Each structure stands twice: as C-alpha cells, then as structure tokens.
C-alpha cells in the first residue's frame, strides 16, 4: 500500500517520530503551527502554518494524498487535535495520537490542581509573590488580572513589544531543561510558586522536579478533554500501527 504520512508536530515525541519514519524510509510531511520563529530542522519535509480549520485540513489531506495522520501535538493543543479527529472522520483516514501520560503527583510535591488557565489565574490571587509562569507566550495576557506578582518567564523567542505583565523577567531558551539547572534558576530568582500545564513527558518536567526538590508549590493545570481517538504511547507503537492499519479507523 502507498503510504504518505502527515505528522502534526510541536513536541519532542513528534521529532523522534520524524527521525524514525525518515530512518524507515516512510514518506511523511511534518506540520507545525509556525508559532516559533526558528523551528528546528526535521529529517522529513516540513510545512508551516494552520490549515484553515477542519475544512482546510480536509482539503490538504485530499490534495496531498495523505494516507495516515499522526497527531503528535502537545496535549494542550486541543483545537488542532479536535480538528484532526473531525477531518480524519470526514476523509475516512486513519488517525493515531502519539501521546504521553500526564504527570502524577509524587511524594514531596505540593500541587494545587486547577481545571484550566482561568483556574490558574484565580489561584494566583493574593499578595505579591515571585511566580515562574510556564504556560507559553500565548497565555500570558490571561494573567494580567494579577499584576501584583513578579513573573519569571521562559520563552522560546524574544518577546516582540511590551508584555502584558508589568513586572516580569524573561529568559529566552528552548528546552528540554535539566532539573539541577531549573533548581538553580528558581533559587536565583527567589521563585515562590510555579504555574505549569500538566504536559507530561520528560521534556518539560525539569521545573516540576525542581519545585519538588525545593518544596515549592505548583499550580498544575489539568489537560483539556479531547475526543476519543486511537492512541500510541511510543514511536514503535506508531510504526507498528502504520504497518498494520490499512484504513481501520477504530479508537
């Protein structure tokens, strides 16, 4: 059977998958939203930018004669994941998500779990603290109702223009990061509390491990709920699915 994969990327796992399919000689296109100024090179052809919703994605899938879609986006990229489910159903294409389990609370953790970004904003009311706000550039403005804090931000690209938070310190860096480095960073800046999405996986976990080691509280944002879809937990499982999937669309 002719194979032509669409990999929806933006994660460490997506990069590993691209390397594996390239190694296996399987034709694939790697798709990124185009949020980052200098995306990392991939060993398969890349495309950048949104598709234009479900209809745009369907057009793309048909035009490019895609045979399989692998959703290896971040667990908080809910819109893209929902669109992928809808478009693959419309186009009768097999879809699998390369997903990673959420982080679980462990001994020493001081988590306050909140259901969403608004919950994190609400949890940050109260007197001034130094907050490591690790929610991504797109969500910073939502924290404007809490201008009393000092925010430590780590962004992939230097910010363009003023940030929506009056007192913040920006570090421009691209992960993955190490626990010891994050511990040192938190100590250097006197961080009182960390705000994080429950991303899961190892690439973004250093700050959670560092907070645990330092006994710092973490406001942990739960993952969004996604439609049911077939899921794989590792690259090998995706390769196996590609080899055996045909047009089976079960979840």
Closest distance to ligand NAP from the beta carbon of 175 (Å)? 9
Closest distance to ligand NAP from the beta carbon of 237 (Å)? 19
Name the residue nearer to ligand NAP (CB basis): 53 or 115.
Answer: 53
Name the residue nearer to ligand NAP (CB basis): 76 or 143.
Answer: 76
| Residue 168 C-beta-side C-alpha neighbours within 13 Å | 25
Closest distance to ligand NAP from the beta carbon of 187 (Å)? 25
Name the residue nearer to ligand NAP (CB basis): 56 or 108.
Answer: 56
Closest distance to ligand NAP from the beta carbon of 250 (Å)? 24
The residue ranges that bind ligand NAP (CB under 6 A) are: 8-11, 31-33, 35, 50-53, 56-57, 73-74, 76-80, 83, 136, 138, 197
Name the residue nearer to ligand NAP (CB basis): 74 or 212.
Answer: 74
């Amino acid at each position: 059977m002719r194979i032509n994969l669409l990999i929806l990327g933006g994660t460490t796992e997506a990069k590993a998958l691209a390397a594996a399919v390239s190694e296996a000689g399987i034709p694939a296109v790697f798709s990124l939203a185009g949020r980052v100024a200098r995306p990392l090179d991939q060993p398969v052809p890349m495309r950048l930018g949104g598709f234009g919703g479900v209809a745009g994605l369907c057009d793309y899938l048909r035009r490019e004669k895609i045979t399989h879609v692998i959703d290896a986006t971040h667990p908080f990229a809910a819109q893209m994941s929902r669109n992928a489910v809808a478009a693959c159903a419309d186009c009768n294409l097999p879809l699998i998500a390369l997903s990673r389990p959420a982080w679980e609370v462990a001994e020493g953790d001081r988590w306050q779990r909140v259901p969403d970004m608004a919950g994190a904003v609400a949890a940050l009311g109260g007197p001034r603290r130094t907050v490591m706000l690790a929610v991504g550039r797109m969500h910073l403005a939502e924290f404007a109702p809490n201008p009393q804090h000092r925010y430590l931000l780590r962004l992939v690209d230097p910010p363009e223009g003023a940030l929506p938070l009056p007192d913040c310190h920006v570090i421009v860096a691209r992960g993955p990061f190490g626990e010891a480095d994050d511990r040192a960073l938190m100590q250097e800046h006197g961080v009182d509390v960390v705000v994080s999405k429950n991303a899961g996986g190892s690439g973004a976990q250093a700050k959670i491990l560092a907070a645990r080691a330092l006994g710092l509280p973490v406001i942990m944002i739960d993952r969004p709920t996604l439609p049911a879809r077939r899921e794989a937990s590792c690259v090998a499982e995706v390769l196996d699915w590609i080899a055996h999937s045909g047009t089976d669309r079960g979840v």
